[in-house]
Amino acid sequence: RRVRASDREPAGGETSVRASGDGRLRVLFVCLGNICRSPMAEAATRAALVENGLDDRVELDSAGIGDWHIGSAPDSRMRDAARQVGINLTGTARQVLADELERWDLILAMDRSNYTQLRAMARGDDVRERIRMFREFDPLDGDAVPDPYYGDADGFAEVAAICRSAAGGLVAVLSEQVRSRT
């Protein structure tokens, strides 16, 4: 089942978002190269967390499946689209490693290919259960965040809007998880 911002349980009716030992929730966003979709999803979620006063309770990061762009800034077209929706997109691309997946409470894939690759990397069912699609949290529905890399400015604007929407739904769910722990 899909999560709506008004829902009070996690996406898919699966397990709750578990908190790490220090009580903070840790969320990783993953796309192909970590220069468009996943940094935008991270930044949009960070902005929503700040708006809800939860930025000190949730740790965010993003990474890519591939290593092509390691050390690069987000794509300039994505930075422009982010600015258009009031988000400052920063950071440098990195590659997700199988060894790190266990440390994340929620791992959010931008598309089905990323999802499949992450699940193949995961060591154990407990980690696989934490891998979800980012758009599961989007109140506007949808399955994947489209990859705008080979398109025009409209594609980047669409990704920015999708990420803002899904981030709002995600933060609603995370907020419930954080509040239930206090």
Q: Point out the residues that are catalytic.
A: 31, 37, 147
Q: Cα 82 to chain center, whole Å? A: 15
CB-based burial, 16-30: b 16+ in 10 Å, e otherwise: ebebeeeeebbbbbb
CA distances from residue 102 to 9, 51, 119, 152, 167 in whole angstroms, order as listed: 22, 28, 12, 36, 22
